[in-house]
């Protein structure tokens, strides 16, 4: 099943795939020893030991598989607070939340990192989390906080799913980069786009949501008619991000023949950092800004461990605080939710996060997701 999360379903989260991107690009660049050294570095240690003399309950930090912090960050938390933290990772964001729902009340749970905006309503309905207002609340992006007004969860990062393009391949084909979703159905770009199935992939779902946000649900003019045009323009549909980016995208590891791919707003930064020249001043890939769909991730305190409530609250404060917020950027290629933390300079140079990315209300996504996916699969799957 892990396979599904990673290979086929891929990653509901920005993070998973971005990390994947860097691994991919890094590995392809044998000429970049520092890059290799970087990805060879030990992952964060799982268990931290409390200093002697303190009596704090140990807690679990539950996250998706690709959750990565620099070594020492979690240990730092334990050192200052005396709270031992065990990091437990499980699947992608979708599986993480749904498994948490299935195992509700499990005694060992503590804090969950990685419920995203599309699963927020589901989690709220199940009353999965203990509401808590982070001590950093004032610093957190108010538009993100607005998604969880009752503080049942705390926003921790954001990112965007956007169409990426291969600059060199487009130039060779003699066409400009597309500017809008409408451009993608232009015969100029025929046979150039590869996307993921929303039924099995989370960036695929985000892209479907972007088209729904843009075109609405009217049968004649809505997203289905747009997708019909996309299909007529020979869009390639694959099951997951890995296959799309690694096998079919012309700037990916597989050197495919499709110069347009659904990926992330930060992918161009990863393409540089883990490309042949990490000091390059331009990225080989670019982002079609108007196609971006916003994904926000939250952390919350799982119900079921009342004796460690204070410890869990302290961990939420830590996760939304400056140390972690800064650390996640280049580890998981997401933007911090904490506005006091400056975005990484690599993001400023290469990545894109539009001020106004497409976004549907979490409740609307929760209500519509299943029907949309079914309708999409019937027609295009």
Partner 1 sequence: MDRTIRLTAHRRLGRRPPRATSALAALGAAFVGLFALYPFARLVWRGLSDGRGAIADLVRSERIRRIVWFTLWQSAVSTAVVIGLGVAIAACLAGRSFPGKRAALALAAVPFTLPTVVVGTAFLATLPSEWRQGRVAVISAHIFFNIGITTRTLTLAIERLDAGPWEAARTLGASPFVAWRTVTLPAIRGAVVGLAGLVATLCLTSFGVVLLLGGPRYATVDVEIYRQALQLSRIDRAAALASMQFVAIGGLLWWAGRRQPAVGATRTRPRVVRPTLITLCALTVLLGMVFIPLTALVRRSLRQPDSSLGFVNFTNLTTVRRGTGLTDPPLRSLLVSLQSTAIATALAVVIALTLVIGATRAPRPTVRRWCERMASLPLAVSAVSLGLGVLIAFSGRPLPWRRSPLLLPALQAVVCLPFVVRTLLPAFAQIPVRLSDAAATLGASPWRAWATVDFAIAARALALATGLGATVALGEFGAASLLARPQAPTVPVAIARLAGRPGAVVQGQAAALAVVLAAAATALILVTEQFRGADR
CB of 176 to partner 1, least distance (A): 28
Tell me phi and psi for residue 113, to 5 degrees. Answer: -105, 120
Between 126 and 186, name the residue whose CB sits nearer to partner 1: 126
E-strand spans in the chain?
59-63, 85-89, 111-116, 129-130, 154-166, 193-196, 236-238, 260-264, 285-302, 335-336
Q: Is 323 in the site for partner 1 (CB under 8 A)?
A: no
Round to whole Å and give the CA distance between 224 and 220: 8
Give yes or no for residue 321 binding partner 1 (CB under 8 A): no
Would you count residue 307 as binding partner 1 (CB under 8 A)? no
Torsion of CA 24, 25, 26, 29, to 10 degrees: 120
For the CB of residue 249, give the shortest distance to partner 1 in the complex, in Å: 11
The correct pick among 32, 59, 61, 65 for binding partner 1 (CB under 8 A) is 65
355 vs 370, beta carbon nearer partner 1: 370
Q: Kindly report the number of other CB atoms within 10 A of residue 73's CB atom.
A: 18
Least distance (Å) between residue 294 CB and partner 1: 20
* Contact status: 2 vs partner 1 (CB under 8 A): yes
Class of residue 164 by CB neighbours under 10 A (exposed 0-12, middle 13-18, buried 19+): buried
Q: For partner 1, which is the closer residue by CB, 97 or 177?
A: 97
Gap between the Cα atoms of 307 and 2, Å rounded:
32
Least separation in angstroms between residue 21's CB and partner 1 is: 7
Sequence-ordered list of residues with C-beta below 8 angstroms from that of 251, at least 6 positions apart, any chain: 164, 166, 167, 168, 169, 259, 271, 284, 285
* 106 belongs to the binding site for partner 1 (CB under 8 A): yes
Residues 332 to 351 in contact with partner 1, rule: CB under 8 A: none
Number of residues counted as binding partner 1 (CB under 8 A): 74
Q: 200 vs 353, which CB is nearer to partner 1?
A: 200
For partner 1, the binding residues in 168-207 under the rule CB under 8 A are 196-197, 199-200
At 303, list the tokens.
Answer: 């119900």
Give 140 or 241: the residue with its C-beta nearer to partner 1: 241
Under the criterion CB under 8 A, does residue 124 sit at the interface with partner 1?
Answer: no
Residue 364 in contact with partner 1, rule: CB under 8 A: no
Per DSSP, 306 falls in state G
Question: Does residue 19 interact with partner 1 by CB under 8 A?
Answer: yes
Q: Check the CA dihedral 319-322-325-331 and report its sign.
A: negative
| Residue 351 near residue 159 (C-beta atoms within 8 A) | no
Q: Is 118 within 8 Å of 68 (Cβ atoms)?
A: no
Q: How near is the Cβ of 31 to partner 1 at its closest, in Å?
A: 10
Burial environment of residue 125 by CB neighbours within 10 A (0 to 12, 13 to 18, 19 or more): exposed
The bridge status of strand 236-238 relative to strand 59-63 is unpaired
- Window 242 to 301, contacts with partner 1 (CB under 8 A): 242, 245-247, 252-253
Would you count residue 20 as binding partner 1 (CB under 8 A)? yes
- Cα-to-chain-centroid distance, residue 138: 24
What is each CA distance from 191 to 163, 185, 249, 291, in whole angstroms? 15, 10, 12, 18
Contact between 157 and partner 1 per CB under 8 A: no
Which residues in 219-238 contact partner 1 (CB under 8 A)?
A: 237-238
Residue 108 beta carbon to partner 1: minimum distance, rounded to whole angstroms: 6
The reply to whether 4 sits near partner 1 by the rule CB under 8 A is yes
Q: How far apart are CA 108 and CA 114, in angstroms?
A: 18
Smallest gap from Cβ 305 to partner 1, in A, equals 11
Q: Which is nearer to partner 1, 26 or 259 (CB)?
A: 26
Cα 71 to Cα 79: distance, rounded to the nearest angstrom? 13
Site for partner 1 in 22-61 (CB under 8 A): 22-28, 30, 36, 39-47
Shortest Å distance, C-beta 52 to partner 1: 24
Cα–Cα distance measured from residue 35 to residue 109, given in angstroms and rounded to the nearest whole number = 35
Please say which residue, 37 or 171, places its beta carbon nearer to partner 1: 37
Residue of 78, 134, 239, 290 interacting with partner 1 (CB under 8 A): 239
Shortest Cβ 226–partner 1 spacing (Å): 19
């Amino acid at each position: 099943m892990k396979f599904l999360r990673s290979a086929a379903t891929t990653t509901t989260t920005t993070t998973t795939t971005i990390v994947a991107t860097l691994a991919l690009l890094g590995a392809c660049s044998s000429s970049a020893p520092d890059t290799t050294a970087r990805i060879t570095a030990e992952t964060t240690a799982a268990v931290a030991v409390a200093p002697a003399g303190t009596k704090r309950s140990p807690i679990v930090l539950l996250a998706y598989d690709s959750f990565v912090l620099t070594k020492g960050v979690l240990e730092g938390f334990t050192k200052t607070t005396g709270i031992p933290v065990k990091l437990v990772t499980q699947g992608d964001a979708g599986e993480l939340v749904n498994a948490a729902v299935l195992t509700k009340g499990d005694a060992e749970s503590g804090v969950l990192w990685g419920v995203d905006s599309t699963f927020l309503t589901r989690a709220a309905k199940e009353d999965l989390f203990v509401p808590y207002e982070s001590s950093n609340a004032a610093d957190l992006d108010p538009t993100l906080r607005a998604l969880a007004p009752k503080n049942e969860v705390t926003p921790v990062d954001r990112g965007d799913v956007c169409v990426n393009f291969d600059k060199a391949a487009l130039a060779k084909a003699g066409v400009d980069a597309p500017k809008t979703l409408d451009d993608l159905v232009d015969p100029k770009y025929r046979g150039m786009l590869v996307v993921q199935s929303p039924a099995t992939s989370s960036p695929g779902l985000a892209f479907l949501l972007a088209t729904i946000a843009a075109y609405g649900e009217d049968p004649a003019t809505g997203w289905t008619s747009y997708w019909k045009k996309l299909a007529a323009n020979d869009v390639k549909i694959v099951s997951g991000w890995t296959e799309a980016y690694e096998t079919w995208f012309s700037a990916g590891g597989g050197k495919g023949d499709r110069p347009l791919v659904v990926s992330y707003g930060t992918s161009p930064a990863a393409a540089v950092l883990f490309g042949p020249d990490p000091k390059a001043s331009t990225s080989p890939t670019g982002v079609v800004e108007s196609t971006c769909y916003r994904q926000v991730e939250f952390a919350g305190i799982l119900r079921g461990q009342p004796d460690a409530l204070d410890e869990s609250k302290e961990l939420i404060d830590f996760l939304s605080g400056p140390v972690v917020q800064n650390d996640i950027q280049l580890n998981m290629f997401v933007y911090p939710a904490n506005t006091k933390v400056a975005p990484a300079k690599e993001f400023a140079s290469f990545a894109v996060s539009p001020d106004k990315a497409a976004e549907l209300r979490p409740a609307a996504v929760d209500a519509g997701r299943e029907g949309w996916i079914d309708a999409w699969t019937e027609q295009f799957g």
